[in-house]
């Protein structure tokens, strides 16, 4: 009787799987609508996504349960020369993903209008990148031409039940139809959050029956929660796989347009995280339903909270130099600067962002670790120095825009440090190599972060303590032939100094050459010398440049001479010409720029036209621009100041910001117009 029950349950499970396969999109069948499909929005990508399909289901195996993702996509080639590689990425370390059943089909419309199948097979792939964390594959495609239809599908199995794979409705290309289906048993409750235009999203739910499965010694893997959980190790256990089928649809999804300084990860997408488990009386618990759960869970986690305990990780050989280092230091800022530099000597960054440490102790032995291991080591050292240091979870600017409404773990990808002081918090990142303790790397500057604390967790602002600051002074001499020559001196501070050093620093640690065009605007025909640098190897000091310049003024047959200012600061490009901006403007840091020009003029040079003084201001004090010109006999002086204090501009304020930038650029580029006297020759 017991074997009959097991056979019935197995038949029910497989009947559910087969029922799902019946309505999986076909690789071979092509509709007339797909053959003649055209982009609805302005086409900028070299292809059009006709159908994007995904499905998630729980797949029962002999002694474990896995997640199965089935993916299908049909593309239409618009520009074969610019068609990018088709990528498949498999996460390894935590999710233990594996890929299988990769299929590929290529259709082409023949000369007579008939549909030809060029390729239909198990797809061939090549590995283009591999690491312990992930493997990236490229599908091998035949030669393509415009109008070809490419259809491919594949299956992924994953052991990560905590964070489901996100579904991206919006891509770099337009998507005519996108759908995602989830088949989740009642024992699992997930928090699902949609980011994007909710008015275009269609959602449906219905129950599905999948029967039950009998296990002996069933094991469940939840990488972020527990390494392994056994249910009924020595007894049979009945797992009910019936649950809810949820469907999500969108049509005519516009492409995600890349714009300068756009907020991170604004693509329309669905995200999932496990909220509650009710598998059996042996495993029934709330996982992360609220931020209080989130804080307690991470502080007690063996890969985060427990890694901050210094007892078994730091040896006397590490602690003794720390005591000597802090002996004559008194303020938190002084200690932070010294300890941060010390931590970087003990461990180097391996280039990986993470909020979890595999082992700080092992990373300390190897002298190499991920971002979490480096900053958790820094926290240990700071606490030994009697500073109140806590971890802060953040998202780097290229990862995500944090959403404080939902306790989603995968929206974070980096961990930094907050040191409590009387006025608030000093923020630090062990990846910072500038020598300025509270100067976070630009990638960290993403509005807010979540501070973990045993007493009270809280959201804190992640704002830059420094600006991108430049001060340029040019002194030029205009001779009787209309030729300009002189020197330009510039001082970079804050993030300008950090970015400038990044250009100067070559791989072997020696001074390189800086592309002055990234920072300055020069008139056509300018001759610029190689800049001399001061302080390029002193991280905490300002970076100073000096270079000479020579240029001929624009001379006209009627005797007019037009001089363009030399060495003007290059303003940030926030708007593309001829296109309305869609995304908010998100600058990583404030911008402060000062420019002055002293121009020595020859005698008897008649002034025809000089720019008028100007003052501009963004509403609410978001930015200012001032232009002042002073002319006395034989000498002309221009002084400008350009500042953007506000770092985030929503679309309703774009027209004001765009007008401010255009008016600033036009004023800076205004020429100085003179006329030669009859006594002065005009040289061609």
93 belongs to a structural domain: yes
Instruction: Give the mean model confidence (pLDDT) for residues 58-66.
Output: 77
Does residue 234 have a pLDDT over 60? Answer: no
| pLDDT tier at 5, thresholds 50, 70, 90 | very low
Q: How many domains does the chain have?
A: 3
Same domain, 636 and 488: yes
Question: 3-state DSSP call for residue 497?
Answer: helix
Nearest-angstrom CA–CA distance, 470 and 587? 16
Provide the pLDDT for residue 287: 75
For residue 181, the model assigns a pLDDT of 96
Least confident of 299-303, 317-321, 661-665: 317-321
Asked whether the predicted pLDDT for residue 581 surpasses 60, the reply is: yes
Residues 436 and 480 in one domain: no
Whether the per-residue pLDDT at 2 is higher than 60: the answer is no
Residue 684 lies in a domain: no
Res. 21 pLDDT band, cuts 50 70 90: very low
Closest CA to 150 of 30, 265, 275, 245: 30
| 264 and 371 co-located in one domain | no
Sequence-distant (6+) residues with CB within 8 A of 530 are 513, 547
Q: What integer pLDDT is reported at residue 233 of this predicted model? A: 47
* Domain annotation covers residue 680: no
Give the per-residue pLDDT at 540: 78
The reported pTM is 0.81
| The pLDDT of residue 224 is above 50 | no
Predicted pLDDT of residue 328:
82
Cβ(394)–Cβ(444) below 8 Å:
yes
Domain-terminating residue out of 259, 287, 315: 287
Last residue in a domain, options 287, 302, 331: 287
Looking up residue 440, the CATH number of its domain turns out to be: 3.10.620.30
Determine the average pLDDT of the residues in 40-48: 82
Q: Choose between 125 and 558: higher pLDDT.
A: 125
Nearest to 530 by CA among 510, 551, 516, 509: 516
Which of 22-36, 64-78, 471-485 is predicted with the least confidence, judged by mean pLDDT? 22-36
Q: What pLDDT does 681 receive?
A: 47
Domain match, 178 and 218 both: yes
Q: How many CB atoms lie within 10 A of CB 463?
A: 13
Read off the tokens for 357.
């440490």
Q: Which of 319-323, 424-428, 616-620, 632-636 has the lowest mean pLDDT?
A: 319-323
- Is 500 a residue whose pLDDT tops 50? yes
| CA 287/CA 190 separation, integer angstroms | 10
Same domain for 21 and 152, yes or no, is: yes
Q: What is the CATH number of the domain that holds 644?
A: 2.60.120.1130
Helix (H) or strand (E) holding 606: strand 606-609
Higher-scoring residue by pLDDT: 215, 199: 199
456 and 523: one domain?
Answer: no
Whether residue 176 contacts residue 40, with contact meaning beta carbons closer than 8 Å, is answered with: yes
- pLDDT score recorded for residue 111: 76
Q: Quick check: 69 and 85 in contact, CB under 8 A? A: no
User: Is 355 among the domain residues?
Assistant: yes
177 is a domain residue: yes
- Model confidence at 642: pLDDT above 90: yes
Contact assessment for residue 188 and residue 210, using Cβ atoms and an 8 Å cutoff: no
Please, what is the average pLDDT of the chain? 84
The predicted structure's pLDDT at residue 62 = 66
Q: Which of 446, 448, 431 is nearest to 498 (CA)?
A: 431
> Could you say which of 407, 432, 462 is where a domain stops?
462
pLDDT of 633 higher than 50: yes
Residue 682 lies in a domain: no
208 lies in the same domain as 299: no
Q: Within a domain: residue 606?
A: yes
Decide if pLDDT at 280 tops 70: no
pLDDT tens-digit series, residues 502-522? 877 653 444 456 788 888 988
Q: What angle do CA 508, 511, 512 make, to 5 degrees?
A: 90
453 and 550 fall within a common domain = no
Q: Do residues 411 and 443 both lie within one domain?
A: yes
Note the pLDDT of residue 507. 39
**Would you tell me how many other CB atoms lie within 10 Å of the CB of residue 428?**
28
Query: Residue 157's pLDDT band (boundaries 50, 70, 90)?
Result: very high
Instruction: Classify residue 518: in a domain, yes or no.
Output: yes
Is the same domain home to 309 and 271?
Answer: no
Domain enclosing residue 456, as ranges: 293-462
Q: Give the CATH number, domain containing residue 214.
A: 2.60.40.3140
Q: Domain check: are 521 and 593 in the same one?
A: yes
Please check whether residues 451 and 552 belong to one and the same domain: no
Instruction: Give mean pLDDT, residues 531-559.
Output: 82
Alpha-carbon distance of 684 to 678, in angstroms, equals 16
Give the model's confidence band at 222: pLDDT under 50 very low, under 70 low, under 90 confident, else very high: low
């Amino acid at each position: 009787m017991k074997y009959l029950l097991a056979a019935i349950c197995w038949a029910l499970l497989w009947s559910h799987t087969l029922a799902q396969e019946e309505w999986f999109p076909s690789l071979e069948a092509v509709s007339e609508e797909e053959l003649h499909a055209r982009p609805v929005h302005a086409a900028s990508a070299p292809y059009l996504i006709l159908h994007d399909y995904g499905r998630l289901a729980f797949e029962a195996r002999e002694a474990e349960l896995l997640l199965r993702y089935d993916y299908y996509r049909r593309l239409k080639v618009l520009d074969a020369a610019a068609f990018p590689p088709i990528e498949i990425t498999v996460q390894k370390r935590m999710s233990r993903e594996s890929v299988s059943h990769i299929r590929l089909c290529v259709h082409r419309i023949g000369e007579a209008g008939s549909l030809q199948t060029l390729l239909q097979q198990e797809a061939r792939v090549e590995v283009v990148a591999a690491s312990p964390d992930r493997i990236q594959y490229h599908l091998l495609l035949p030669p393509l031409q415009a109008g070809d239809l490419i259809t491919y599908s594949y299956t992924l199995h994953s052991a990560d039940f905590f964070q489901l794979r996100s579904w991206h409705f919006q891509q770099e290309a337009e998507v005519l139809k996108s759908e995602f289906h989830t088949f989740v048993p009642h024992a699992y409750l997930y928090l699902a959050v949609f980011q994007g235009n909710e008015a275009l999203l269609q959602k449906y739910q219905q129950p599905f029956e999948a029967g039950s499965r009998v296990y002996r010694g069933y094991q469940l893997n939840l990488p972020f929660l527990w390494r392994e959980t056994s249910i009924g190790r020595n007894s049979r256990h009945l797992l009910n796989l019936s649950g809810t089928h949820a469907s999500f649809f969108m049509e005519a999804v516009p492409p995600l347009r890349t714009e300068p300084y756009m907020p991170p990860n604004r693509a329309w997408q669905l995200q999932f995280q496990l909220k509650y488990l009710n598998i059996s009386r042996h495993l029934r618990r709330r996982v992360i339903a609220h931020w209080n759960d989130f804080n307690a869970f991470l502080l007690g986690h063996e890969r985060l909270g427990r890694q901050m305990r210094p007892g078994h990780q730091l040896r006397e050989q590490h602690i003794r130099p720390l005591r000597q280092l802090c002996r004559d230091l008194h303020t938190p800022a002084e200690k932070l600067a010294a300890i941060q530099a010390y931590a970087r000597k003990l461990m180097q960054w391996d280039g990986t962002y993470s909020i979890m440490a595999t082992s700080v102790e092992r990373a300390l032995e190897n002298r190499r670790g991920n971002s979490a291991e480096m900053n958790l080591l820094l926290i240990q050292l700071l606490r030994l120095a009697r500073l109140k240091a806590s971890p802060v979870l953040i998202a780097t600017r290229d990862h995500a825009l944090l959403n404080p409404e939902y306790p989603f773990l995968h929206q974070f990808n980096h961990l930094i440090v907050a040191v409590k002081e009387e006025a608030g918090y000093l923020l630090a990142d062990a990846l910072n190599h500038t020598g300025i303790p509270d100067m976070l790397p630009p990638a960290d500057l993403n509005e807010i972060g979540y501070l973990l604390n045993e007493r009270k967790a809280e959201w804190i602002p992640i704002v830059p303590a420094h600006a991108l600051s430049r001060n340029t002074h040019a002194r030029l001499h205009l001779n009787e032939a209309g030729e300009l020559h002189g020197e330009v001196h510039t001082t970079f501070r804050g993030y300008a100094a950090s970015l400038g050093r990044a250009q100067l620093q070559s791989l072997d640690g020696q001074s390189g050459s800086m592309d002055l065009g990234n920072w300055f605007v020069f008139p056509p025909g300018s001759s610029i010398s190689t800049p001399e640098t001061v302080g390029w190897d002193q991280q905490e000091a300002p970076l100073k440049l000096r270079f000479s310049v020579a240029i001929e003024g624009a001379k006209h047959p009627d005797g007019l001479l037009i001089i363009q200012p030399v060495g003007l600061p290059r303003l940030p490009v926030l708007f593309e010409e001829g296109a309305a901006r869609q995304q908010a403007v998100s600058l990583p840091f404030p911008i402060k720029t000062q420019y002055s020009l002293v121009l020595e003029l020859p005698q008897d040079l008649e002034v025809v036209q000089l720019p008028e003084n100007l003052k501009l201001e963004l509403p609410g004090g978001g930015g200012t621009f001032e232009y002042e010109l002073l002319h006395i006999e034989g000498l002309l002086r221009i002084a400008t100041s350009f500042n953007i204090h506000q770092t985030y501009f929503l679309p309703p304020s774009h027209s004001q910001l765009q007008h401010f930038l255009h008016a600033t650029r036009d004023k800076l580029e205004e020429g100085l117009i003179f006329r030669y006297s009859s006594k002065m020759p005009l040289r061609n």
